[in-house]
Amino acid sequence: MATPRSFTLDNPAATAALGERLGRALLPGDTVLLHGDLGAGKTTLARGLIKSLCDVDEVPSPTFTLMQHYDTNDGHWLVHADLYRIEEASELAELGLDDVFDNAICLIEWPDRLGSYRPDRRIDLRLTTDGETRIAEIVPAGDWGDGLDNV
């Protein structure tokens, strides 16, 4: 089992850079649950990760669309979901989110709304703020082995 890791992020660029490094460790079937209050940096981290894997310049927040789909440079599928507007876990069945967990790299903002849809094999990434600084704690769950050692 992989060891939890903690990072101090001095600015948004450092937050995006952590997303880029994390992206290099992910494969289809991997899910990253992004925890944190409004303004903690979840979308900034997701943008860095998506830009590095998908070579796109514009990465909109999926707050209103709920899910954005991307093709990675390696021909895989990446899904970025923002569940902030989900009121009940039963709404997730309509999105088809449970179908993508096995086949795509998934980034989920506001994962507390997943309920029973929360995958067993995942990375819980918690972002907190300390003044102008952000703290990122990465806690792998399931069989991660040494997969996060280079993040």
Q: Can you give the residue ranges of every domain in the chain?
A: 5-141
CATH classification of 5-141, choosing from 3.30.1280.10, 3.40.140.10, 3.40.50.2300, 3.40.50.300? 3.40.50.300
Mark residue 145 as left, alpha or beta (left: phi above 0; alpha: psi -120 to 50; beta: remaining).
left
Asked whether residue 123 carries a pLDDT value surpassing 90, the answer given is: yes
pLDDT tens-digit series, residues 45-64: 999 999 999 988 777 676 65
pLDDT at 22: 94
Work out the pLDDT band at 65, boundaries 50, 70, 90: low
pLDDT at 125: 96
CB 65 within 8 A of CB 92: no
- pLDDT > 90: what percent of the chain? 50
Tokens linked to 141? 């769950």
